[in-house]
Amino acid sequence: MRAVVQRVSSASVSVSGEMRGAISTGLLVFVGVEKGDGPEDLEYMASKITGLRVFEDREGRMNLDVKEAGGALLVVSQFTLLGDCRKGRRPSFDRAEETQKAREMYGTLVEKLGESVRVETGEFQAHMEVESTNDGPVTLMLDSRKGF
């Protein structure tokens, strides 16, 4: 499972012009499910996302997680995070999980994240428009298989 995590001062996602999810301070999280991902990958990703200390404390140090900072999560499914661009010019998505299993894994991740912090989402497998104001900017990449 892969994720790109951005600290934001605001973020929203719309489908066909209709707002589906929005947050102010928090993390915008793009998530891609890889073939073979299982419960360990879900646990790792949920723990990492909610535990990242990327918000500033009173001394200006990145020392607070999203909950301690009073923030929320906007979690958006994005299979293109599994795109392999090493050969040619067209990305290969062979590593992305099949749709139904990816939908279930994404849903379970959202549920786990929601146990500790407010979570907004987009719409799985829809064409979405995401707007965000990256704060910092702070952008991090996570991989449950620790490939990077």
Q: Which residues are catalytic?
A: 78-80
Other CB atoms within a 10 A radius of the CB of residue 33 amount to 30
Residues 6+ apart with CB under 8 A from 132: 6, 8, 10, 11, 12, 28, 74
Q: Which residues pair with 85 in a beta bridge?
A: none
> Which DSSP string corresponds to 58-107?
TTS-EEE-TTTTT-EEEEEE-GGGG-B-SSSSSPB-TTBPPHHHHHHHHH
User: For residues 89 and 96, is the Cβ–Cβ distance under 8 A?
Assistant: no
